[in-house]
Structure 1
Amino acid sequence: MSMSLTYFSLIQPWHPSSTLVHESALAVEKVAPGKFWEYSNALFNAQKEYFDVNVVNETRNQTYQRLAELAGTVEVDKDSVYKLLHIADKPDGDAYNIGNQVTNDVKFITKAARQVSAHVTPTVFFNGVVENSISSGWALDQWKEWIDNNVI
């Protein structure tokens, strides 16, 4: 019996900062691909710092700056990360919604998630079918029990 696990970024639009933290992970992946998981771990450990109540009074670029600083803690060039994330404060000609240098990556992961009907985290597919019994609130023991009962 075999099992594969695929990680896929899924932005939760009802949490506005979700886009920003996902963008930061995409930027880290571009700057230092081998640091993606280490950065993701740092981001998970610091996640409360990026919840709605902790970013509401910051500009978008201020949050990006903090995320770039976090990338620096795992030895990723924070300036390169910020350069990919930064949003200009002046229009580019007649273009006012210019995004940043990972906007196209966000569009791709969003389209891919929609295509497979992934709407919440985690969305788990078991034998190609969404397994709705799995919850983001699960503890490690619940995951182990589900895997023992269904996979192994």
Structure 2
Amino acid sequence: MALPPKFSGQLLASTSGSEAKHTIELYLDYVCPFSAKIFKTFYGSVAPVIEEKYTDPGIRVIFRQQIQPWHPSSTLTHEAGVAVLRTAPQSFWPFSKKLFDNQKDYFDVNVVNESRNETYKRLAKLAGSVDGVDEKTILDLLLVTDTPGEDGSLNIGNKVTDDVKFQVKANRVTGVHVTPTVLFNGVEERSISSSWTFEQWDEWLKKNAT
């Protein structure tokens, strides 16, 4: 449940009371349709209720970026998320909403004929449409050069590679595999489904988060 300060934007600030006793962690992949479904319900309907009704004992909500390697563009989209975390952490959740709303633009069929850097340019443009995010800054963090590193290395990554590595390592420790996965107070809550309605979330909160 720990969250390094550099990734503080993954904490949904409006629901993160300093004395919160409970923590909900959402492990989501930007190009997973089921992740988009649960995110839209939670962010649009559930989070406002948590903010209004569950201030005591309080609930922390954390977005955990879960890269799914069988979707090649998953890494690229999550790199964009990390770039936003680094430069405009307050805009991470709004950017995530924007990306989920447009996730089909990054499905296999829509990226297969463009280069990696071309996909980055589209992601940076999308990020730049969110308040507080600068497109050029995001693109600078994402682009990969075709020049070898000073030591001759060819696998040089980009400027957010190390942050992505950290997040992947942290997620592996939990053993989370599928998306979406929800953890409640550090334990997987298998009853929660991506198809849950607001009413189902509300009932679950009444039973578990008071």
Between the two proteins, the alignment pairs up a number of residues equal to 152
Q: Percent identity?
A: 55
1:4 maps to which of 60, 77, 80? 60
Relative to its length, the structure with more strand (as a share) is: 2
Look up the match of 2:100.
Answer: 44
- For structure 1, which segment, 70-79 or 81-90, has the greater mean C-alpha deviation from structure 2 after superposition? 70-79
Distance between the aligned counterparts of 1:109 and 1:129, measured in 2?
A: 18
Look up the match of 1:134.
Answer: 192
Residues 119 and 48 (structure 1 numbering): CA distance in 2 closer, same or farther, change over 3 Å?
same
- The answer to whether the aligner puts 1:118 opposite 2:179 as a matched pair is no
Q: Once the two structures are superposed, what CA deviation does each residue of 1:19-38 show, in whole Å capped at 9, x if it has no partner?
A: 11110011112222222122
Structure 1, unaligned stretches of length 5 or more? none
Q: Once the two structures are superposed, what CA deviation does each residue of 1:103-133 show, in whole Å capped at 9, x if it has no partner?
A: 0010000000011112222221234321223
Q: CA RMSD in A?
A: 1.8
Aligned to 1:119, the other structure's residue is in SS state: coil
**Contact between 1:122 and 1:134, CA under 8 Å: does it hold in 2?**
no
Residues 34 and 48 (structure 1 numbering): CA distance in 2 closer, same or farther, change over 3 Å?
same
Look up the match of 1:78.
Answer: 135
Q: Using the TM superposition, give the Cα deviation of residue 134 of structure 1 relative to its aligned residue in structure 2, in angstroms.
A: 2.5
Task: Calculate the TM-score normalised by the size of structure 1.
Answer: 0.88
Look up the match of 1:101.
Answer: 159
